[in-house]
Amino acid sequence: MKSFAHDIGRIFQPIYDLLGRILAFFYGIIPNYAVAIALLTVVIMGVLTPFTIKSTKSMIAMQKLQPELKKLQQKYKGPENRQLLNEEMMKLYKEEGVNPLGGCLPMLLQTPFLIMLYGVIKGLANKVLVHASWSRCRDTSPPVPRCTTISCGPVVRSSPSAWTST
C-alpha cells in the first residue's frame, strides 16, 4: 500500500507544485494569505468549469430519460429479462445521444485537483501557524518556583500569588 501511495504521489507532484507556485505568485502580488487562497480557488474553479458544465448537462439529459427508463424496467421485469432490459436501455441511450457515465466521469476528473487544493491550503496553514506561534506569541505564564538544591524534600504547594515577583 505504501508503494502505491508513493507512486500516486509522484504522479500528482507536478500539479501539486504548480498549485503551490500559483499560490506563491498571488501572495507575491497581494501579501495576504486569505486573498491568495481565494484567487487560487477562483483559478482552479475556472479550470474545472468545463468539466462541471459537461457533467451537469449529462445529468439533466439522464433525468429527462428517467420516465422512459422506468417504462422499460416495468416492461422487462424479472431476472430472466435482464439481458433484454440492458439491450433496450443501451439502444435508448444511443438514440438520445446520452452517455450514462457522462455525469460522474467529469466529477472523478475534478477530485484530484480538489484534494491537491486542500493539501496546498493545509500546508500553507501549517506554515502560517508555525510562523505565528514563534513570532507573535509571548510567554505570559507566571514563573514556576524551582528547587535549587538536589534534594528538594517534600513538595510544598504555594498560592499563585507567591509565584509573581515583586
pTM: 0.56
Q: Over the stretch 44-72, which tens digit does the pLDDT of each residue have? A: 888 888 888 888 888 888 888 888 888 88
Q: pLDDT value at position 83?
A: 85
Q: pLDDT value at position 131?
A: 56
Q: pLDDT value at position 77?
A: 83
Q: pLDDT value at position 165?
A: 52
Q: Name the DSSP class of 158.
A: -
Q: Over the stretch 15-31, which tens digit does the pLDDT of each residue have? A: 878 888 888 899 899 98
CA 33/CA 55 separation, integer angstroms:
32
Residue (of 6, 37, 5, 28) closest to 122 by Cα position:
37
CA 33/CA 24 separation, integer angstroms:
9
Flag whether pLDDT at 148 surpasses 90. Answer: no
Q: Over the stretch 151-164, which tens digit does the pLDDT of each residue have? A: 444 544 555 555 55
Output the average pLDDT for the chain.
75
Residue 132 makes CB contacts below 8 A (sequence gap 6+) with: none
In order, the DSSP letters of 87-154 are: HHHHHHHHHHT--TTTTTHHHHHHHHHHHHHHHHHHHHHHHHHHHHHHHT----SPPPP---SS---S
Residue (of 157, 162, 119) closest to 143 by Cα position:
162
SS3 helix, strand, coil % of the chain, rounded to 5? 75, 0, 25
Report residue 53 as a C-alpha cell: 458544465
